[in-house]
């Protein structure tokens, strides 16, 4: 569970406990007399106020934390989830890759993917990075020098990409990628056709992954 969800659960639990305690105090104090009755009512009112304050805090803070994919810098607010588009997700992932790896060389040949602190809570960004790397490769023209990054990629990078995608259910596409990769260590027509033909697929998978896990990107 993300920190945002934990906060929501905790606030509702505290508000409920205060409300229940207030009701119990009102009932008990109704059968009392003198100062005990007055004290019970006062404590009950204070607990009711506290319960309302917990709920008010949740209401005011429910969407003030910037979400990596939803935050609009112009309005300084998070957009509704139904306004999120694959293009926005792709643009945000372009920015994310630039933050963890200033150059494609570092991404494909360095140890960027091995640094676990690059990928957020429970490594939630790692599948997105794997999809995005394959998307960016497939988005290039067949004669683009960008394909050299795949040719020069370290075995560890290829392993991490494949393992990461397998963990999110992409066994079939990983199997196909590895078959072609082993047959064409230097990206040739098969690899280029395969990645270029799956650009829309990679984009759609990034989009659906972000929507499914949107609470983890606060």
At residue 31, the 3 state secondary structure works out as coil
Q: Residue range 136-161: average pLDDT?
A: 97
Q: What is the dihedral of CA 123, 128, 130, 131, to 10 degrees?
A: 160
Full-model pTM: 0.74
Task: Give the pLDDT score at 201.
Answer: 98
Burial of 83 (0-12, 13-18, 19+ CB in 10 A): exposed
Query: Two tokens at 16?
Result: 């409920």
Task: Give the pLDDT score at 63.
Answer: 55
- What distance in Å separates the CA atoms of residue 117 and residue 100, rounded to the nearest whole number? 10
Query: Two tokens at 170?
Result: 């992409």
What b-and-e string marks burial along 100-130, b requiring 16 or more CB atoms within 10 Å of the CB?
Answer: bbeebeebbebebbeeeebbbeeebbbbbbb
Return all residues near 25 (Cβ < 8 A) that are at least 6 apart.
Answer: 40, 41, 43, 44, 47
pLDDT band at 37 (very low <50, low <70, confident <90, very high): confident
pLDDT band at 122 (very low <50, low <70, confident <90, very high): confident
If one compares 195 and 58, the residue with the highest pLDDT of the two is 195
| pLDDT exceeds 60 at position 172 | yes
| pLDDT exceeds 60 at position 1 | no
Angle at alpha carbon of residue 63, lines to 61 and 64, rounded to 5°: 65
- What distance in Å separates the CA atoms of residue 42 and residue 217, rounded to the nearest whole number? 42
Angle at alpha carbon of residue 93, lines to 179 and 128, rounded to 5°: 45
| pLDDT exceeds 80 at position 144 | yes
At residue 101, the 3 state secondary structure works out as coil
Task: Give the pLDDT score at 5.
Answer: 62
Of all residues in the chain, the percent with pLDDT exceeding 70 is: 92
| pLDDT exceeds 80 at position 125 | yes
Task: Give the pLDDT score at 176.
Answer: 98
Contact 100, 128 (CB under 8 A): no
């Amino acid at each position: 569970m993300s920190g945002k969800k934990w906060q929501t659960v905790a606030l509702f639990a505290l508000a409920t406990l205060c409300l229940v305690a207030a009701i119990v105090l009102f009932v008990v104090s109704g059968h009392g007399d003198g100062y005990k009755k007055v004290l019970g009512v006062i404590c009950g009112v204070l607990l009711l106020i506290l319960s309302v304050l917990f709920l008010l805090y949740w209401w005011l803070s429910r969407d003030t934390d910037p979400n990596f994919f939803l935050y609009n810098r112009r309005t300084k607010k998070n957009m509704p989830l139904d306004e999120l588009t694959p293009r926005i997700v792709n643009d945000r992932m372009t920015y994310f890759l630039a933050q963890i790896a200033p150059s494609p060389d570092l991404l494909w040949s360095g140890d960027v993917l091995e640094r676990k602190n690059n990928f957020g809570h429970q490594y939630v960004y790692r599948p997105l990075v794997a999809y995005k790397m394959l998307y960016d490769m497939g988005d290039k023209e067949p004669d683009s020098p960008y394909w050299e990054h795949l040719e020069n990629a370290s075995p560890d990078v290829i392993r991490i990409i494949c393992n990461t995608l397998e963990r999110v259910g992409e066994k079939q596409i990983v199997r196909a990628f590895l078959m072609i990769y082993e047959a064409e260590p230097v990206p040739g027509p098969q690899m280029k056709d395969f990645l270029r033909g799956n650009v829309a697929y990679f984009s759609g998978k990034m989009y659906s992954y972000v929507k499914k896990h949107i609470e983890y990107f606060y």
